[in-house]
Structure 1
């Protein structure tokens, strides 16, 4: 056999292998017959509950009296719900997973994936969601893990399965305050050094301690800062032992806010920032732990002098 014949034989073999891989990879053969809407939810308004089970955590988000509730008692972050519904309404099956590594991916989903069950008008739809180690490819699979697909949203380059990997704390509503100067009735901050800040609505405007001259611009900015104020994250006991220990110390300040709407009232304890950390620990009456970044926490911790009108300033 000549060298040319040998090379020709190798070339033919490589072509055959390439064709086989193309077919097995789901890009050839019957790829046109793929149901690309296999995991699509056309009417996300029909979703009544979402249950996510994994080896790391279990959670259930359920619509109760028109509101989404996490694990029967906690408010859900509306932005997380919007993202999940948007993904489910647009998810597209790109291709089946290659037969060459389907067993590896099946095992990956079994060990690290999330089993997602949607209740849609009384009917259940179950699938597995996960991805590769680098979170650059998202995989959805049937409930029995028999058929596994690479999924995407055309034009959307983010990792689709990430929404189902959020922990229960990350599903929670992060709105800490939602008050402003129109609704706040009283705000008191008691500091560990014995000083106190009292803002109280009197007659037609706010009194600040016993100050006679108030910088109203500073005061209005401060009060409006409570509107749509989000905490950064919730902490579960054991996640960060240093914060668990901090909860046993005396707080540096206690903040009490009274709103026209009693559901927006807040009573919080604020603890000293751990050196080198970027967050303050806050806790409510249930000793639930929350963290808020340094800049915004210190914006909350105003003192009387911050509202004194500088003699060099003129009020409008």
Structure 2
């Protein structure tokens, strides 16, 4: 009985050895090993303090500052895009390598019209690679610097992953318009081009603010107004140029001159949406989001 069991185990061992040898030969014939799905993954994204995206002569330099990530040192980065960028760098997976003509065409496409990504920790490059995709924008390709191209995907994300790196510069700007805080604000100017009598200014006069023409100030209304101002967000950034007549101009002066900004609004409150320009960028706003800052000087008067 024991002998039969020993023979059975020996035969099983021989069988397993044969299977192992067969698998070894099969793997050598098909590339040698399993695909590393984490080729482009960064485990410790907290080390990242700069991401540079280069595409078609345009450079998008996302750099960490004490106040957050800035784009080309000019304006804050959109919070949603920052979250998506972090997700891609931490979770992107390789589905399969490209080979033959498919690989050659994808690599050539990246060199001609793709995006090149460099991720930094200080002066150290943590990773760098190329991104692109097929003409239909359905398949995303990432490639190593030495030309190994892979079909990639983001778990739970069905859209075109490489599309993130194809966004134009203006689309990376935060929808939050003003860079100020009420603590850093020196002055604010409200100019109503349709009704100049509504114009007013808010100036910092230590230890508090003053409003032009108002002697008995409601300090709570001033603080609430400034909070609404510095947290104002646009609905979207738009690629347009508009030469129409401005309706309202809101301008801030800050302790940091780099944060001085004027927002010009076009249209009126009858419309559901409104076009605005801040610096070189155009935005759309839901009119209802602008109502808290469409006031006149009398609004700040303490009537008690």
Fold match by TM threshold 0.5: yes
Q: Which residue of 1 aligns with 2:294?
A: 301
Kept after mapping to 1: 8 A contact 2:116/2:131 = yes
Matched, 1:138 2:131: no
**Over residues 75-107 of structure 1, what are the superposed CA-to-partner deviations in whole Å (9 max), with x where a residue is unaligned?**
441623332122111111111136463333333
Q: Which residue of 1 aligns with 2:54?
A: 53
Structure 2: tracts of 5 or more residues without a match: 1-28
Q: Which residue of 2 aligns with 1:270?
A: 264
**Over residues 94-138 of structure 1, what are the superposed CA-to-partner deviations in whole Å (9 max), with x where a residue is unaligned?**
111364633333333233311112234624632111223343321
SS at match of 1:135: coil
- Cα distance in 1 for partners of 2:285, 2:109 equals 35
Matched, 1:230 2:233: yes
- TM-score, L = length of structure 2: 0.66
SS at match of 1:101: helix
Q: Which residue of 1 aligns with 2:275?
A: 280
Q: Which residue of 1 aligns with 2:130?
A: 128
Matched, 1:77 2:77: yes
Kept after mapping to 2: 8 A contact 1:114/1:130 = yes
- Cα distance in 1 for partners of 2:225, 2:99 equals 57
Kept after mapping to 1: 8 A contact 2:106/2:132 = no
* Cα drift, residue 278 of structure 1: 4.5
* Cα drift, residue 222 of structure 1: 4.8
* Cα drift, residue 64 of structure 1: 5.8
Q: What are the within-5 Å matches in structure 2 for residues 1-316 of structure 1? A: 29-30=30-31, 33-55=34-56, 57-63=58-64, 68-71=69-72, 73-77=73-77, 79=79, 80-97=81-98, 99=100, 101-120=102-121, 122-123=124-125, 125-145=127-147, 147-177=148-178, 187-192=188-193, 193-195=195-197, 196-197=199-200, 222-232=225-235, 240-241=240-241, 243=242, 245-246=243-244, 251-257=246-252, 266-273=260-267, 278-284=273-279, 288-295=280-287, 296-297=289-290, 299-303=292-296
Structure 1: tracts of 5 or more residues without a match: 1-27, 310-314
Task: Give the aligned CA root-mean-square deviation in angstroms.
Answer: 4.3
**Over residues 40-85 of structure 1, what are the superposed CA-to-partner deviations in whole Å (9 max), with x where a residue is unaligned?**
11122333432222226223333467854433x3244162333212
Residue 31 and residue 89 in structure 1: after superposition, are their counterparts in 2 closer, same or farther (change >3 A)? farther
* Cα drift, residue 164 of structure 1: 1.6
* Cα drift, residue 265 of structure 1: 6.8
Residue 66 and residue 41 in structure 1: after superposition, are their counterparts in 2 closer, same or farther (change >3 A)? farther
Kept after mapping to 2: 8 A contact 1:280/1:294 = no
SS at match of 2:283: strand
- TM-score, L = length of structure 1: 0.64
- Cα distance in 2 for partners of 1:264, 1:52 equals 24
- Cα distance in 2 for partners of 1:69, 1:199 equals 28
Query: What is the number of residues matched between the two proteins?
Result: 269
